[in-house]
Structure 1
Amino acid sequence: MLNGLVNLIDRRLRALHGVTEYTSSPDCIFRIQLGTSPERIMLEDGTVVGAGTRIAILHFWNEHIPPFPVGGPRLGWARRISRALEHSLSELELYLASRPDLDDVLAIRAEMTLAAAERAPQLLALAAKYGFAPIKTRNASLGRQVHRLGENILIAMLVLAHNPRAFRVDTLRRSCTPIFISRTEMRRRFGKGGENTHQRTDLREPGEADGGRRATKD
Protein backbone atom coordinates (compact mmCIF):
# COMPACT_ATOMS: atom_id res chain seq x y z
CA MET A 1 0.00 0.00 0.00
CA LEU A 2 2.83 2.41 0.85
CA ASN A 3 4.54 1.75 -2.50
CA GLY A 4 1.32 2.36 -4.41
CA LEU A 5 0.47 5.57 -2.54
CA VAL A 6 4.00 6.99 -2.77
CA ASN A 7 4.32 6.16 -6.47
CA LEU A 8 0.96 7.80 -7.20
CA ILE A 9 1.94 11.00 -5.36
CA ASP A 10 5.36 11.00 -7.03
CA ARG A 11 3.89 10.58 -10.55
CA ARG A 12 1.41 13.41 -10.04
CA LEU A 13 4.06 15.77 -8.67
CA ARG A 14 6.42 14.96 -11.55
CA ALA A 15 3.65 15.69 -14.04
CA LEU A 16 2.78 18.93 -12.26
CA HIS A 17 6.37 20.19 -12.22
CA GLY A 18 7.48 18.79 -15.57
CA VAL A 19 10.01 16.29 -14.22
CA THR A 20 10.78 13.84 -17.02
CA GLU A 21 13.23 11.12 -18.04
CA TYR A 22 15.94 12.17 -20.47
CA THR A 23 17.08 8.63 -21.25
CA SER A 24 15.58 5.17 -21.20
CA SER A 25 18.72 3.67 -19.65
CA PRO A 26 17.92 1.60 -16.54
CA ASP A 27 21.32 2.67 -15.17
CA CYS A 28 20.42 6.39 -15.08
CA ILE A 29 19.67 7.64 -11.56
CA PHE A 30 18.42 11.13 -12.48
CA ARG A 31 15.38 12.74 -14.02
CA ILE A 32 15.37 16.33 -15.26
CA GLN A 33 13.21 19.41 -14.81
CA LEU A 34 13.58 22.62 -16.81
CA GLY A 35 13.31 25.75 -14.70
CA THR A 36 14.72 29.25 -14.35
CA SER A 37 17.20 30.77 -11.96
CA PRO A 38 15.41 32.98 -9.43
CA GLU A 39 18.44 35.24 -9.07
CA ARG A 40 21.73 36.17 -10.70
CA ILE A 41 24.54 33.82 -9.74
CA MET A 42 28.14 33.31 -10.79
CA LEU A 43 29.39 29.75 -11.09
CA GLU A 44 32.82 28.49 -10.13
CA ASP A 45 34.16 28.65 -13.72
CA GLY A 46 32.99 32.25 -14.15
CA THR A 47 29.74 31.49 -15.98
CA VAL A 48 27.11 34.12 -15.11
CA VAL A 49 23.54 32.87 -14.88
CA GLY A 50 21.13 35.77 -14.90
CA ALA A 51 17.81 35.86 -13.09
CA GLY A 52 15.21 34.19 -15.30
CA THR A 53 17.81 32.21 -17.27
CA ARG A 54 16.80 28.65 -18.00
CA ILE A 55 18.55 25.92 -16.03
CA ALA A 56 18.20 22.16 -15.79
CA ILE A 57 17.35 20.75 -12.36
CA LEU A 58 18.23 17.19 -11.42
CA HIS A 59 15.92 14.90 -9.45
CA PHE A 60 16.76 11.40 -8.29
CA TRP A 61 15.11 8.57 -10.21
CA ASN A 62 14.32 6.71 -7.02
CA GLU A 63 13.42 3.38 -8.59
CA HIS A 64 16.90 3.23 -10.16
CA ILE A 65 18.94 3.97 -7.04
CA PRO A 66 20.92 0.83 -6.12
CA PRO A 67 19.42 -0.40 -2.83
CA PHE A 68 21.50 -0.46 0.33
CA PRO A 69 22.90 -3.95 0.92
CA VAL A 70 22.26 -5.78 4.17
CA GLY A 71 24.66 -4.40 6.75
CA GLY A 72 24.88 -0.97 5.11
CA PRO A 73 26.76 0.44 2.13
CA ARG A 74 30.24 -0.88 1.44
CA LEU A 75 32.93 -0.36 -1.20
CA GLY A 76 31.10 -2.33 -3.90
CA TRP A 77 27.95 -0.26 -3.45
CA ALA A 78 29.96 2.98 -3.49
CA ARG A 79 31.63 1.98 -6.76
CA ARG A 80 28.25 1.14 -8.24
CA ILE A 81 26.91 4.56 -7.29
CA SER A 82 30.02 6.24 -8.72
CA ARG A 83 29.53 4.50 -12.07
CA ALA A 84 25.83 5.40 -11.99
CA LEU A 85 26.62 9.07 -11.45
CA GLU A 86 29.13 9.16 -14.30
CA HIS A 87 26.79 7.32 -16.62
CA SER A 88 23.80 9.52 -15.72
CA LEU A 89 25.69 12.76 -16.26
CA SER A 90 27.14 11.50 -19.55
CA GLU A 91 23.61 10.64 -20.71
CA LEU A 92 22.46 14.11 -19.67
CA GLU A 93 25.21 15.77 -21.72
CA LEU A 94 24.22 13.66 -24.74
CA TYR A 95 20.60 14.67 -24.27
CA LEU A 96 21.33 18.38 -23.95
CA ALA A 97 23.68 18.29 -26.95
CA SER A 98 20.95 16.68 -29.04
CA ARG A 99 18.42 19.42 -28.23
CA PRO A 100 19.21 22.75 -29.99
CA ASP A 101 16.14 24.22 -28.28
CA LEU A 102 17.99 23.82 -24.97
CA ASP A 103 21.10 25.73 -26.02
CA ASP A 104 20.07 28.56 -23.69
CA VAL A 105 20.31 26.28 -20.64
CA LEU A 106 23.51 27.58 -19.05
CA ALA A 107 23.73 25.46 -15.92
CA ILE A 108 22.61 22.30 -14.18
CA ARG A 109 21.42 22.47 -10.60
CA ALA A 110 21.05 19.76 -7.99
CA GLU A 111 20.26 19.93 -4.31
CA MET A 112 22.57 18.18 -1.89
CA THR A 113 20.87 17.10 1.30
CA LEU A 114 23.15 17.55 4.29
CA ALA A 115 22.67 15.67 7.53
CA ALA A 116 25.34 15.82 10.24
CA ALA A 117 27.54 18.89 9.91
CA GLU A 118 30.70 16.79 10.19
CA ARG A 119 29.77 14.93 7.00
CA ALA A 120 29.16 18.07 4.92
CA PRO A 121 32.80 18.44 3.73
CA GLN A 122 32.80 14.80 2.54
CA LEU A 123 29.58 15.25 0.59
CA LEU A 124 30.71 18.52 -0.98
CA ALA A 125 34.04 16.89 -1.95
CA LEU A 126 32.05 14.10 -3.64
CA ALA A 127 30.02 16.69 -5.57
CA ALA A 128 33.24 18.43 -6.63
CA LYS A 129 34.50 15.17 -8.11
CA TYR A 130 31.73 15.50 -10.71
CA GLY A 131 32.19 19.24 -11.25
CA PHE A 132 29.41 20.51 -8.96
CA ALA A 133 30.08 23.35 -6.53
CA PRO A 134 27.85 24.98 -3.90
CA ILE A 135 26.59 28.45 -4.72
CA LYS A 136 25.38 30.80 -2.00
CA THR A 137 21.85 31.99 -2.70
CA ARG A 138 19.36 34.16 -0.86
CA ASN A 139 17.95 32.85 2.40
CA ALA A 140 14.85 30.75 1.86
CA SER A 141 11.52 32.41 2.58
CA LEU A 142 9.09 30.93 5.09
CA GLY A 143 7.07 29.53 2.21
CA ARG A 144 10.17 27.85 0.78
CA GLN A 145 11.01 26.39 4.19
CA VAL A 146 7.53 24.89 4.49
CA HIS A 147 7.86 23.57 0.92
CA ARG A 148 11.20 22.00 1.86
CA LEU A 149 9.60 20.25 4.84
CA GLY A 150 7.00 18.78 2.50
CA GLU A 151 9.78 17.62 0.16
CA ASN A 152 11.57 15.96 3.10
CA ILE A 153 8.38 14.11 4.02
CA LEU A 154 7.98 12.86 0.44
CA ILE A 155 11.67 11.89 0.27
CA ALA A 156 11.28 9.91 3.50
CA MET A 157 8.27 8.10 2.05
CA LEU A 158 10.12 7.36 -1.20
CA VAL A 159 13.11 6.00 0.68
CA LEU A 160 10.88 3.78 2.82
CA ALA A 161 9.10 2.53 -0.30
CA HIS A 162 12.12 1.89 -2.54
CA ASN A 163 15.22 1.67 -0.36
CA PRO A 164 14.15 1.17 3.29
CA ARG A 165 17.65 0.32 4.53
CA ALA A 166 18.74 3.84 3.56
CA PHE A 167 16.12 5.53 5.76
CA ARG A 168 17.41 7.76 8.57
CA VAL A 169 15.30 9.33 11.30
CA ASP A 170 16.84 12.77 10.69
CA THR A 171 15.51 12.95 7.11
CA LEU A 172 12.73 15.40 8.02
CA ARG A 173 15.11 18.01 9.45
CA ARG A 174 17.95 17.82 6.95
CA SER A 175 19.04 21.02 5.26
CA CYS A 176 19.61 21.37 1.56
CA THR A 177 22.46 23.07 -0.31
CA PRO A 178 22.12 24.01 -4.01
CA ILE A 179 25.06 22.86 -6.14
CA PHE A 180 25.70 23.80 -9.76
CA ILE A 181 27.76 22.87 -12.78
CA SER A 182 27.91 25.02 -15.92
CA ARG A 183 27.06 23.64 -19.36
CA THR A 184 30.66 24.36 -20.40
CA GLU A 185 32.06 22.30 -17.54
CA MET A 186 29.48 19.57 -18.13
CA ARG A 187 30.56 19.34 -21.76
CA ARG A 188 34.25 19.24 -20.82
CA ARG A 189 33.79 16.48 -18.28
CA PHE A 190 31.00 14.37 -19.74
CA GLY A 191 30.91 15.17 -23.46
CA LYS A 192 32.29 12.72 -25.99
CA GLY A 193 35.82 11.90 -24.90
CA GLY A 194 35.43 13.96 -21.72
CA GLU A 195 37.62 13.25 -18.72
CA ASN A 196 34.83 11.66 -16.67
CA THR A 197 33.41 9.39 -19.36
CA HIS A 198 33.98 5.66 -19.26
CA GLN A 199 33.12 2.85 -21.63
CA ARG A 200 31.46 0.63 -19.04
CA THR A 201 27.84 1.37 -18.26
CA ASP A 202 26.74 -1.97 -16.80
CA LEU A 203 26.30 -1.22 -13.10
CA ARG A 204 26.01 -4.81 -11.92
CA GLU A 205 28.79 -6.34 -9.93
CA PRO A 206 30.93 -8.89 -11.84
CA GLY A 207 29.24 -12.27 -11.78
CA GLU A 208 25.78 -10.95 -10.94
CA ALA A 209 23.26 -12.95 -12.91
CA ASP A 210 20.94 -10.98 -15.14
CA GLY A 211 17.88 -13.17 -15.05
CA GLY A 212 15.96 -10.54 -17.02
CA ARG A 213 16.16 -8.03 -14.17
CA ARG A 214 17.11 -4.38 -14.33
CA ALA A 215 20.73 -3.69 -13.54
CA THR A 216 19.86 -1.76 -10.40
CA LYS A 217 18.00 -4.60 -8.74
CA ASP A 218 19.66 -7.09 -6.40
Structure 2
Amino acid sequence: MDEFAFRRSVRYGTILVDIESRRPVDVLPDRTSDTLAAWLHDHPGVEVVCRDRASAYACAVKEAAPQAIEVADRRHLLHSLSLAVEKTCHEHRPCLQKYVERAQRAGPRMPAQEALPPTLIVGRVVRRHEEIDRMVDVGYPLSEIARCLGLDRKTVRRYRDTGFDALLASARDRRNIPLDRFKPYLQAEFAAGNTVATELYKQIRERGFRGG
Protein backbone atom coordinates (compact mmCIF):
# COMPACT_ATOMS: atom_id res chain seq x y z
CA MET A 1 0.00 0.00 0.00
CA ASP A 2 1.14 3.50 -0.81
CA GLU A 3 -0.26 6.93 -1.41
CA PHE A 4 -0.46 8.67 -4.78
CA ALA A 5 -1.61 12.10 -5.90
CA PHE A 6 -4.82 12.73 -7.78
CA ARG A 7 -3.66 16.32 -7.66
CA ARG A 8 -0.33 17.10 -6.00
CA SER A 9 -0.58 18.98 -2.70
CA VAL A 10 -4.38 18.96 -3.01
CA ARG A 11 -5.81 15.45 -3.08
CA TYR A 12 -4.25 12.05 -2.44
CA GLY A 13 -5.47 8.49 -2.66
CA THR A 14 -4.20 5.05 -1.69
CA ILE A 15 -3.27 2.28 -4.10
CA LEU A 16 -3.18 -1.36 -3.04
CA VAL A 17 -0.98 -3.73 -5.05
CA ASP A 18 -0.60 -7.51 -4.87
CA ILE A 19 3.13 -7.99 -4.15
CA GLU A 20 3.31 -11.41 -5.82
CA SER A 21 1.43 -10.61 -9.04
CA ARG A 22 2.50 -6.92 -9.07
CA ARG A 23 -1.04 -6.01 -10.13
CA PRO A 24 -3.27 -3.32 -8.54
CA VAL A 25 -5.93 -4.68 -6.19
CA ASP A 26 -7.87 -1.52 -5.41
CA VAL A 27 -7.70 2.26 -5.31
CA LEU A 28 -9.01 4.14 -2.28
CA PRO A 29 -10.29 7.73 -2.55
CA ASP A 30 -8.01 9.10 0.18
CA ARG A 31 -5.11 8.17 2.43
CA THR A 32 -6.85 8.23 5.81
CA SER A 33 -6.67 5.56 8.46
CA ASP A 34 -10.45 5.08 8.58
CA THR A 35 -10.78 4.39 4.85
CA LEU A 36 -7.95 1.86 4.82
CA ALA A 37 -9.22 0.17 8.01
CA ALA A 38 -12.69 -0.19 6.47
CA TRP A 39 -11.19 -1.84 3.37
CA LEU A 40 -9.17 -4.26 5.51
CA HIS A 41 -12.29 -5.17 7.53
CA ASP A 42 -14.08 -5.94 4.26
CA HIS A 43 -11.16 -8.06 3.03
CA PRO A 44 -10.09 -10.28 5.95
CA GLY A 45 -7.18 -12.67 5.74
CA VAL A 46 -4.38 -10.26 4.81
CA GLU A 47 -1.12 -11.93 5.84
CA VAL A 48 1.58 -9.43 4.86
CA VAL A 49 1.43 -5.66 4.51
CA CYS A 50 4.22 -3.68 2.84
CA ARG A 51 3.97 0.00 3.68
CA ASP A 52 5.89 3.17 4.35
CA ARG A 53 6.10 4.72 7.82
CA ALA A 54 2.94 6.83 7.49
CA SER A 55 1.13 6.80 10.84
CA ALA A 56 -2.32 6.56 9.18
CA TYR A 57 -1.44 3.27 7.48
CA ALA A 58 0.18 1.91 10.65
CA CYS A 59 -2.94 2.63 12.73
CA ALA A 60 -5.23 1.07 10.12
CA VAL A 61 -3.24 -2.15 9.97
CA LYS A 62 -3.04 -2.48 13.74
CA GLU A 63 -6.79 -1.93 14.04
CA ALA A 64 -8.14 -4.00 11.15
CA ALA A 65 -5.40 -6.57 10.42
CA PRO A 66 -3.40 -7.08 13.64
CA GLN A 67 -2.40 -10.57 12.52
CA ALA A 68 -0.60 -9.27 9.43
CA ILE A 69 3.20 -9.08 9.23
CA GLU A 70 4.25 -5.51 8.48
CA VAL A 71 7.17 -5.07 6.08
CA ALA A 72 8.99 -1.79 5.52
CA ASP A 73 8.83 -0.48 1.96
CA ARG A 74 12.30 -1.00 0.45
CA ARG A 75 12.10 2.15 -1.66
CA HIS A 76 11.40 4.33 1.37
CA LEU A 77 14.13 2.63 3.39
CA LEU A 78 16.72 3.31 0.67
CA HIS A 79 15.48 6.86 0.28
CA SER A 80 15.77 7.49 4.03
CA LEU A 81 19.22 5.91 4.06
CA SER A 82 20.45 8.12 1.22
CA LEU A 83 19.16 11.22 3.02
CA ALA A 84 20.89 10.16 6.24
CA VAL A 85 24.20 9.54 4.44
CA GLU A 86 23.96 12.88 2.64
CA LYS A 87 23.21 14.68 5.91
CA THR A 88 26.12 12.98 7.70
CA CYS A 89 28.57 13.78 4.89
CA HIS A 90 27.42 17.39 4.89
CA GLU A 91 27.88 17.70 8.66
CA HIS A 92 31.40 16.21 8.49
CA ARG A 93 32.49 17.92 5.29
CA PRO A 94 35.44 19.79 6.90
CA CYS A 95 36.77 16.52 8.35
CA LEU A 96 36.37 14.65 5.06
CA GLN A 97 38.02 17.48 3.13
CA LYS A 98 40.92 17.51 5.57
CA TYR A 99 41.42 13.77 5.06
CA VAL A 100 41.43 14.12 1.28
CA GLU A 101 43.92 16.97 1.36
CA ARG A 102 46.19 15.07 3.73
CA ALA A 103 46.09 11.95 1.53
CA GLN A 104 46.93 14.06 -1.53
CA ARG A 105 49.90 15.67 0.23
CA ALA A 106 51.18 12.32 1.44
CA GLY A 107 51.14 10.84 -2.07
CA PRO A 108 51.50 7.14 -2.88
CA ARG A 109 52.98 5.04 -0.10
CA MET A 110 52.98 1.53 -1.46
CA PRO A 111 56.43 1.54 -3.17
CA ALA A 112 58.24 2.23 0.12
CA GLN A 113 56.19 -0.46 1.84
CA GLU A 114 56.71 -3.04 -0.88
CA ALA A 115 60.48 -2.49 -0.75
CA LEU A 116 60.57 -3.99 2.75
CA PRO A 117 60.21 -7.68 3.61
CA PRO A 118 56.75 -8.61 5.00
CA THR A 119 57.99 -9.21 8.55
CA LEU A 120 55.79 -9.05 11.62
CA ILE A 121 57.46 -5.82 12.70
CA VAL A 122 56.78 -4.15 9.35
CA GLY A 123 53.19 -5.37 9.44
CA ARG A 124 52.76 -3.96 12.93
CA VAL A 125 54.16 -0.58 11.87
CA VAL A 126 51.83 -0.42 8.86
CA ARG A 127 48.80 -1.44 10.92
CA ARG A 128 49.52 1.00 13.74
CA HIS A 129 50.20 3.84 11.32
CA GLU A 130 46.86 3.28 9.57
CA GLU A 131 44.94 3.10 12.85
CA ILE A 132 46.59 6.14 14.42
CA ASP A 133 46.40 8.18 11.19
CA ARG A 134 42.67 7.45 10.89
CA MET A 135 41.92 8.37 14.51
CA VAL A 136 43.99 11.56 14.30
CA ASP A 137 42.05 12.59 11.19
CA VAL A 138 38.77 12.04 13.00
CA GLY A 139 39.98 14.25 15.84
CA TYR A 140 40.69 11.87 18.72
CA PRO A 141 43.17 13.24 21.32
CA LEU A 142 46.44 11.39 21.85
CA SER A 143 45.38 10.06 25.25
CA GLU A 144 42.20 8.54 23.80
CA ILE A 145 44.09 6.94 20.89
CA ALA A 146 46.63 5.49 23.30
CA ARG A 147 43.87 4.06 25.49
CA CYS A 148 41.94 2.54 22.58
CA LEU A 149 45.01 0.93 21.01
CA GLY A 150 46.78 -0.02 24.22
CA LEU A 151 49.84 2.08 23.44
CA ASP A 152 51.96 4.63 25.29
CA ARG A 153 51.22 8.27 24.44
CA LYS A 154 54.82 8.72 23.34
CA THR A 155 54.38 5.92 20.81
CA VAL A 156 51.20 7.49 19.48
CA ARG A 157 52.91 10.88 19.23
CA ARG A 158 55.84 9.35 17.32
CA TYR A 159 53.49 7.72 14.82
CA ARG A 160 51.57 10.98 14.45
CA ASP A 161 54.62 13.18 13.95
CA THR A 162 56.89 10.84 11.97
CA GLY A 163 56.56 10.30 8.23
CA PHE A 164 55.40 6.91 7.02
CA ASP A 165 58.64 6.21 5.12
CA ALA A 166 60.70 7.02 8.20
CA LEU A 167 58.62 4.61 10.30
CA LEU A 168 59.14 1.85 7.74
CA ALA A 169 62.87 2.56 7.58
CA SER A 170 63.01 2.30 11.35
CA ALA A 171 61.29 -1.08 11.19
CA ARG A 172 63.79 -2.24 8.58
CA ASP A 173 66.81 -1.07 10.57
CA ARG A 174 65.82 -2.73 13.85
CA ARG A 175 68.44 -5.44 13.66
CA ASN A 176 70.31 -6.98 16.53
CA ILE A 177 72.73 -9.55 15.14
CA PRO A 178 73.10 -11.55 18.38
CA LEU A 179 69.31 -11.90 18.34
CA ASP A 180 69.22 -13.75 15.01
CA ARG A 181 69.16 -17.29 16.35
CA PHE A 182 66.25 -16.40 18.65
CA LYS A 183 64.14 -14.90 15.88
CA PRO A 184 62.23 -18.09 14.95
CA TYR A 185 61.15 -18.46 18.59
CA LEU A 186 60.16 -14.77 18.86
CA GLN A 187 58.24 -14.86 15.57
CA ALA A 188 56.30 -17.92 16.72
CA GLU A 189 55.48 -16.36 20.10
CA PHE A 190 54.46 -13.09 18.48
CA ALA A 191 52.19 -14.88 16.00
CA ALA A 192 50.61 -16.78 18.91
CA GLY A 193 49.65 -13.50 20.56
CA ASN A 194 52.50 -13.01 23.04
CA THR A 195 53.41 -9.42 22.11
CA VAL A 196 54.60 -8.13 25.52
CA ALA A 197 58.22 -7.12 24.97
CA THR A 198 59.32 -7.56 28.59
CA GLU A 199 57.91 -11.09 28.71
CA LEU A 200 59.55 -12.05 25.41
CA TYR A 201 62.85 -10.60 26.61
CA LYS A 202 62.63 -12.63 29.81
CA GLN A 203 61.95 -15.81 27.85
CA ILE A 204 64.92 -15.46 25.49
CA ARG A 205 67.19 -14.48 28.40
CA GLU A 206 66.27 -17.83 29.96
CA ARG A 207 67.26 -19.45 26.65
CA GLY A 208 70.71 -17.89 26.59
CA PHE A 209 70.33 -14.43 25.01
CA ARG A 210 72.72 -11.91 26.54
CA GLY A 211 72.09 -8.86 24.36
CA GLY A 212 70.14 -5.69 25.14
Q: TM-score, normalised by structure 1?
A: 0.23
Structure showing greater radius of gyration is 2
Report the TM-score, using the length of structure 2 for normalisation.
0.23
Higher helix share: 2
